[in-house]
Amino acid sequence: MGSVVGEKITRLVEYATNPFGPLILVCASGGARMQEGSDFGMLGDIIIAEPNAYIAFAGKRVIEQTLNKTVPEGSQAAESLFHKGLFDSIVPPGVLSELFQLHAFFFPR
């Protein structure tokens, strides 16, 4: 994330929290940019993941090569992390878009 995007997110958070309005952030990245969103992505009041999402700061192979330890298969999958209490819910993308529409109805601009 560049400085311009960071500034836009900062302004958005300030705008939403000033009158105690809601704020929805959708964090999605991968590869060399997978750390984007890791600093604020888990700070929400309600945290929702998509099914089969891969949630990790580093990939399985990188962890295994760095720590010289085996990472259990599926341990970085949304379903596994949900059972450990990391998320409030796992919601399919189609249902998630309906949730956003419902949110927009109750909190219009």
Structural domains for the chain: 3-106 (3.90.226.10)
HSE-up of residue 67 (Cα within 13 Å, Cβ side): 10
Band the pLDDT of 68: cuts 50, 70, 90.
very high
Q: How far apart are CA 94 and CA 92, in angstroms?
A: 6
Judge residue 45's burial from the number of C-beta atoms within 10 Å of its C-beta, 0-12 exposed, 13-18 middle, 19 or more buried.
Answer: exposed
- Residue 39: pLDDT over 70: no
- pLDDT of 93 above 90: no
The whole model's pTM is what? Answer: 0.67
pLDDT at 96: 82
C-beta of residue 55 within 8 angstroms of C-beta of residue 76: yes
Read off the pLDDT band of 35 (50, 70, 90): low
The H or E element that residue 23 is part of is: none
pLDDT at 32: 56
